[in-house]
Amino acid sequence: TNIEDWARSDIYHNSFLIPQDPVLDAALKNSVANGLPEIAVSAAQGKFLHLQARSIRAKRILEVGTLGGYSTIWLGRALPEDGELITLEINSKHAKIAEENLHNAGLFPKCKVITGPGHESMVNLPSESKFDFIFIDADKPSNLKYFTEAKRLVRQGGIIIVDNVVRFGRVADPEQSDANIEGVRLLLNALKSDQDVDATTMATVGEKGYDGFIYAIRN
């Protein structure tokens, strides 16, 4: 089966489960028009994150890696009236486009973009105000650094999700190596003996090809 078939599968399932959404479409359109790379989560994945956040009634969400705010909109919509989302982005152009898209989605200032290196921004967040849900989707070599800070910032029973951990199966192929693959391997090695979380990898296939999320619950 090739990637077109998997894209067709996403389109088929989405046609039953995910209504057309002018706000999300506009966010993608604005991102492409401004030259942002097309590396946002898929609609099915965005909705999956949204449902995960809703299922634990998340009130505070942290995202690392904003891009144009596509996943941010899915997650922001999972929040109750008095909820809050903070998303971290190093690229000021990405952050600006994300802010435009969040405004357009009616999610500003409920969803705030902090511009700067994600790890530094995380370190500056206080341990006292915990998050219910943290989504890590920035530079992959820093996965373990982000995950370590995420453990400090997430409440007990809260969820940490890390994107792009399967990478077309390359992470599991000993013949393959690059900085992104090694970033995932480093995280997996750390998780092996990590008593602070319970985790699993959920592989996904669809319009983005073969990939997967690590899903972890904070003990």
Choose the stretch contacting ligand SAM; rule: CB under 6 A; options: 9-17, 87-95, 170-178, 206-214: 87-95
- Can you tell me which of 52, 71, 201, 204 binds ligand SAM, judged by CB under 6 A? 71
**What are the CA-CA distances from residue 98 to residues 14, 40, 71, 153 (Å)?**
24, 12, 10, 23
Question: Which residues ranging from 138 to 167 are in contact with ligand SAM (CB under 6 A)?
Answer: 138-139
Query: By C-alpha distance, which of 215, 153, 163 is closest to 184?
Result: 163
Give how many residues touch ligand SAM by CB under 6 A. Answer: 18
Are 59 and 137 in contact by the 8 Å Cβ rule? The answer is no
Of residues 32 and 219, the one with the C-beta less far from ligand SAM: 32
Question: Which residues ranging from 34 to 63 are in contact with ligand SAM (CB under 6 A)?
Answer: 39-41
**What are the CA-CA distances from residue 24 to residues 2, 19, 87 (Å)?**
26, 11, 17
Q: How far is the CB of 134 from ligand SAM (least distance, A)?
A: 12
Check residue 89 for interaction with ligand SAM (CB under 6 A): yes
Q: How far is the CB of 141 from ligand SAM (least distance, A)?
A: 9
